[in-house]
Amino acid sequence: MEQRHLGRTGLRVSRLGLGTLTWARDTDERGAADQLKAFWEAGGTLVDTADVYADGSAEYLLGRLLDGLVPRADLVISTKAGSVLAADRRVDASRGHLLAALDASLERLGTDHVDLWQVHAFDPATPLEESLQALDIAVASGRARYVGVSGFSGWQLAKAATWQSAGGTGRTPLAGTQMEYSLLQRGVEREVLPAALDLGVGLLPSSPLGRGVLTGKYRDGTPGDSRGASEQLGPFVAPYLDETASRIVDAVRTAADGLAATPLQVALAWVRDRPGVAAPVVGARTAEQLRASLSVEALTLPDEIRRALDDVSAPVHHYPDHDWSTL
């Protein structure tokens, strides 16, 4: 699998990442092992997790598989901290919480460092410079090799990246930012992606298959074994089952038919090769589903098909994004 630099750093990652959101919840240890082995054998390196995935069990499961199944040195392990599962608080990016969470992640993963450590979400109750100081401490102490953020808006990303790059010695530039991005969700193109491109921060798209909708599995209803049918994830999928999404899915299917490919391959190739994208992170419940995503490595969309998909999925941006200077 092709390797790409993450932002303007020396960190190289496979241009497709393996997500572990389902691990220890919908995917058991045997299924996770099958996924990790298939990913590694395909040349994949970037494995993405977080301390709150399955309440820490996803990290623990990944740690059990390291070395015994796949050499730790062959992988780029990325995890996140800052999200909290509390009734009165969803985010805690204080320096104390972040560093304690990192230590707990390292223990669950069974490693002395992670390759990429990200603040999971912006915390309006904590000064941003305090959160960023935790990133610097993590790198200085050797517990993290590179750092980034996740779920930050355009101005939040720009402020964080500028703070880090302007600090001189002791500050660690942001390597990446993780945000949802697909043919069904192009909101990052409004401010986040332009900021990332300008500041040299690599984008790691999550939900690159539009929460599964772009595979076409929902065209004739909601399959009983799908995320959309589950009580927990049904509301997550529902926003992408409207008429607008249906038109985009039909266009993806038409493109796939013309290329003798699958809708999954077309949708994933589109986001993988967008400017500024380092590696879409794909999640799968089974190794079979993951192999379907890995098969995209051989596909590059022709320019005319890419432009057609750009047009049919183009988000509507008004003031101040377009033509504001002529008003």
Q: Which of 99, 100, 49, 39 is nearest to 74 (CA)?
A: 39
Rounded Cα–Cα distance for residues 247 and 249 (Å): 5
Rounded Cα–Cα distance for residues 167 and 164 (Å): 6
Q: Residue 181 catalytic?
A: no
Rounded Cα–Cα distance for residues 211 and 245 (Å): 12
Residue 150, helix vs strand vs coil? strand
- Beta-strand runs (E) in 110-201: 114-119, 144-150, 174-180
Residue 127, helix vs strand vs coil? coil
Contact criterion met (CB below 8 Å) for 165 and 9:
no
Sorted by sequence, the CB contacts under 8 Å of residue 222 that are 6+ apart come out as 228, 229, 241
Catalytic annotation, residues = 53
